[in-house]
Every structure is written in C-alpha cells, then in structure tokens.
Amino acid sequence: MERLWNLGALAGAVVWFAFMLAWSGAAVQPFVFVHQLVTVGPLVIVPLTLAHVIPDKAWGRALFGAWALGAVCTAVAVRMPPGVAAALVAGVWVIVTGLMAAVGVARASARARAGVLMKQLPELCLDAGLIYIPVGAIWLVADRAAYGLMGFPALIVVLTAAHFHFAGFAAPVIAGLTGRWLDTPGRVWKLSALAAIAGPPVVAIGITTSPWMEVAGSTALAIGMGLLALLMIFVVGKRRGGIVRVLLSVAGLAILATMLLACLFAVGEYIGFQAISIPVMIATHGVANVFGFSVLGLVAYALDPPAPSP
C-alpha cells in the first residue's frame, strides 16, 4: 500500500505540472499563483502522508481511489471560474478529507482507549494533520464559490485554505515522522510536536480574532518548527546520510526561513507596519513552505520510511 501511495504522489506531481503548463497559456485569474501552490497539497503532499498511515486493506485501496478523484477534482476546480459549479467540484475534496479526518479520529481514539494517546505522540501528530486538513478543504470550497467565509476578503479565504493544507497538515505530519525516527524522543522534539499540533489553529484563530494571538501563535509555531528543523538536520539527517540527509537538511533550512518570515509578518500586522507584503510572503514563505519543507521533507521520509511508534 505504501508503494501505491508513493506512486500516486508521483502521478499527482505529473498532473500538477500538466496543469501548470496549461495555466501558463491561460488568461490571468485572481490569486492564480496561490491556487497553483494549494493544489500541490491534494496532488502530492496528501498521498506522501497517507503512505505512512493507511494499512493494506480493502478500505485503504478504496480511499486511494477516493483520493485520486478528489485531488483531480481540486485541480480542475481551481481552473474553473468561481461559482456554484466550481464549488461543487471542489466539494469532492471536502468529502475525501472528511474520510481522512475519520481515519485520524479512529487512530487517536484507539490509542486513547489503550491509554497510550500521549505516549505515542508521533502518531498524534499524524492524526492532527489528518483532522485539520478538512478545514483547508472547506475554505477552498468557499474560495471557489467566491464566498467571503466569516466575512473575510477573497485573498484571506484562499490563504486560509493554503494554511491548513501545509502549516496545518504537512507540518504536524513531518513532526510526527521525525518523532518516529528518534529512538527516544526528548523534550526538544516534544516541544516541536506540541507546537506543530497547537500552532496552526492558534494562528488561524488569531487572524480571525486578535493580532496578539496571531503573534503568539506564530511565535510558538516558529520556535517549534525551528527546533524540528534542527532535529531534521543534525539528528535524523545525520543518522540516515546520503540523499535523505540532503533532503532533510534543505527541508529544515526552508522551514527556518519560512518561520522567520511568518514572525516578521505577524509582528508587522500587530504594530500596524507591514514589513513584508502579502505578495512577497506568497512568493517566499509560500514557495519555501510548499516545496522546500513539505515536498522535500516528505520525499525524504518516503525514501527511508520510519516505522510506526511501538
């Protein structure tokens, strides 16, 4: 099953490049670059993640088929003009991510009943990512419907969809996979894991409620991701060696850079001085987070997959 999901990620990358080529000759649409980045999540990031959590069972293969349909529908929906039709097509992805969340809840519930929920913190990180991603799918549907969800402008709607596909999904997943590789995860990793689990929703709540909470959430997430980056570069990467070490080192450096940018942006929002504009954040923070951290980090763990927590 793991091989099937990884092949699915490779196929998803091919589909993404095909859509990119088609996009290059199309008329410019609002926020087109953000949509291009968001589709990397369903097409590539999700299958690379599910390779580590879905067992080789009949329902796992059924989920693979559902993922393929949902990912392609997402890629099609972001090319369609905003409206009811685009929202309905994107809605397929909401159903798929709902199934993923159900897997995360079932996994966490089983460990809670066994009394090992917090003892297997790496698995809880993976579950958190599975549970968070439907939030991103819902905001993507709102974007495709041209609906200002919670009264937010169109740009914030699509950026929130991106936030929960990467900071909310890929970050806790990579933290969990890193924890799987550590023989005895210590305090440093535990702090990074808790930040990866708690940070994304706190940042999202801060954006919708108060600047100081956004700053607090961004700072906590940045510290946690910084600690995770050091572990990826100097502990796990050093142990694995070769191309895996290179990929983890680049992924770690990428997340260090993106978290610094996120903190500068959040502080600028809080003090009323925009040190970094949103377009610059998309071109730097967004690209580095999607490709440098999420894709390269998950490819590294696909090449040398860690065993689940005992």
307: left (phi over 0), alpha (psi -120 to 50) or beta: beta
The encoded tokens of residue 108 equal: 């966490």
* Count of C-beta atoms within a 10 Å radius of residue 159: 21
The CATH number given to 2-303 is 1.20.210.10
pLDDT one-digit tens code per residue, 95-105 = 999 999 999 99
**Residues whose CB is less than 8 angstroms from the CB of residue 185 and which lie 6 or more positions away in sequence, other chains included:** 121, 122, 179, 193
* Residue 259 pLDDT greater than 90, yes or no: no
Position 239 scores a pLDDT of: 83
Cα distance between residue 91 and residue 73, in whole Å: 8
Position 300 scores a pLDDT of: 96
Q: What is the pTM of this model?
A: 0.92
What is the percent of the chain where pLDDT is above 90? 65
The encoded tokens of residue 111 equal: 């460990």
Per-chain mean pLDDT for the chain: 90
pLDDT one-digit tens code per residue, 11-60 = 999 999 998 887 765 544 557 889 999 999 999 999 999 999 998 888 89
Position 28 scores a pLDDT of: 47
Q: Which amino acid is at 174?
A: I
Query: Collapsing DSSP states into helix, strand and coil, what is residue 222?
Result: helix
Position 219 scores a pLDDT of: 79
The encoded tokens of residue 31 equal: 């926020």
Position 173 scores a pLDDT of: 97
Asked if 130 and 106 count as a contact pair (C-beta separation under 8 A), the reply is no
Question: Could you give the angle at the alpha carbon of 106 between the alpha carbons of 100 and 108, nearest 5°?
Answer: 105
* Residue 240 pLDDT greater than 50, yes or no: yes
Place of tokens 């670059």: 33
State mean pLDDT over 75-94.
95
